[in-house]
Amino acid sequence: MENKLQLDLGVDKIIESFEVRSVLEGNAAFRAALTKPDTQKLEEYVKLMDRCKSGPEFLEINLKFHKELFRLSDATTHAELVEILWDRIPLENVATTQEDRLRINDEHKAIVEALKDADANRSELVAKQHVLHVMADCVDHIYEIKQ
CA angle 118, 123, 126 (to 5 degrees): 150
pLDDT of the chain, 147 residues: tens digit per residue: 343 334 456 889 999 999 999 999 999 999 999 999 999 999 999 999 999 988 899 999 999 999 999 999 999 999 999 999 988 888 788 888 889 999 999 999 999 999 999 999 999 999 999 999 999 999 988 888 777
pTM of the model: 0.90
CA angle 84, 104, 99 (to 5 degrees): 130
Query: CB neighbours (10 Å) of residue 143?
Result: 11
Distance between CA atoms of residues 45 and 51, nearest Å: 10
